[in-house]
Amino acid sequence: MNISMDDSRINNISELEGFLKSSKRMVLRMETIDEKYKFINKTVRKFKYQKLGRKEKHLVLLYIKKFTGYKKAQTLRLVKRALARDLQRTVYVRHNPHVVYGASDIKLLEITDALHRRLNSLATKEILRRETEVFGHSNYKRISKISTSHINNLRDSEVYRQFWVNGTKPRQVAIGKTKKPEVNNIPGSIRVDTVHQRDVYHINAVDEIIQWEIVVCVPQISERYLLPALKRLLKQFPFTVFNFHSDRGSEFINKVVAKLLNKLLIEQTKSRSRHCNDNALVESKNGSVIRKNMGYTHINFRAAEKVSDFYEKWFNPYLNYHRPCLFVTEIIKDKKGRERKVYGEATVPYEKLKEITKQRKQDFLKKDISFEKLDIIAYRYSDNQFARMMRMREKQVFDKIEKMKGS
């Protein structure tokens, strides 16, 4: 059904405003682009759009939008064109209508993309132009006249896809599982990260449940140093480690680490994209433990072994037997479902290990370790006594590090 429209009785802005209010629920659309353009030309001149105030211009735009169905941005563009000159539909004229790019031309494009690792279409067009005009390669004459948009069209063509073998493709690394590790509320699921301090790297590992923490130091992240360091790190945990979780960095996501963990029957997992909390525990320990105690001073790579010995004999026992950590005692949810964790318990990781062992009635310790042996380490000195001794050894280590700077 065709409906003819006669707006000759709408002659001023007040009548136009009344029409818009009375026809809010009416849907009016013109069919062809020519009709719409003709209507815009007529309306702009009829109401003298350029001389109107801001409010009146808004009413005219609403009127045009109602009959043409255009969005606000498109309506504004067309009105500006109508003010400059009569709005007319432009007919697309193809440049070089007889140019046809055959298989040989597509092959030249494929070779160019392969050599330059597939640059954007504008840069590729410039290379094709230079091949002809600057370097005089006549075989590029036809393909050099191609438009940037048609380069993308040819890249999607079947002929190009048959030739193209160097496209960038995401590579799935089959090392570790991308998931949040299953802790099962028992000790043995550790989070691992590295802290860089100029010439050395601190490898920090923290258990998810009891916050048992082990730190080692290496001069480089390489197979030569990393494998012994990880063995040394895992050996210092008194309980069996069943999960090894890290971020997606190459220092841990590699075949050397995967082989070691597989040999020890330890599942390797890695952080998920856009899940910053997956490795949040060890990240927080990097600042509150490593940086707070080791600072930011330069450590010579030759001192890495001395630092690791200090860690093993003094710092790691201090962290696990004499330095209390905070633990979640309650999770409160508000009306919107957001969780707020209450850290109401402060205890050392060793006491937490004994508590969980008693609650679960399960022995998590390694075969050659018992609580009787660990009690000797835990209760031989008070927290302040051991901390004082540890700080003295720490000062000795840093004095040696300072001497290495001058040598």
Highest mean pLDDT among 82-96, 226-240, 259-273: 226-240
Lowest mean pLDDT among 86-90, 96-100, 129-133, 302-306: 96-100
pLDDT of residue 171: 52
Both structure tokens of 74: 């498109």
Residue 93 has pLDDT above 80, yes or no: no
Partnered with residue 191 across adjacent β-strands are 206, 245
Judge contact between 294 and 197, C-beta under 8 A.
yes
Q: How far apart are CA 270 and CA 249, in angstroms?
A: 9
Judge contact between 103 and 158, C-beta under 8 A.
no
Amino acid at 298: H
Look over the chain and give the mean of its residue pLDDT values, rounded to a whole number. 85
Q: Which helix (H) or strand (E) holds 189?
A: strand 189-197
Average pLDDT over residues 19-46: 81
Q: 398 CB contacts (<8 Å, ≥6 apart)?
A: 297
Average pLDDT over residues 301-318: 92
Output DSSP code: residue 1. -
Domain boundaries, the chain: 13-84, 103-163, 182-326+382-406
Both structure tokens of 365: 């310790």
CATH 3.30.420.40 assigned to 182-326+382-406 = no
Parallel/antiparallel/unpaired status of strands 330-333 and 339-342:
antiparallel
pLDDT band (50, 70, 90) for residue 1: very low
Judge contact between 205 and 188, C-beta under 8 A.
no
- Per the model's pLDDT, the better-predicted residue between 91 and 216 turns out to be 216
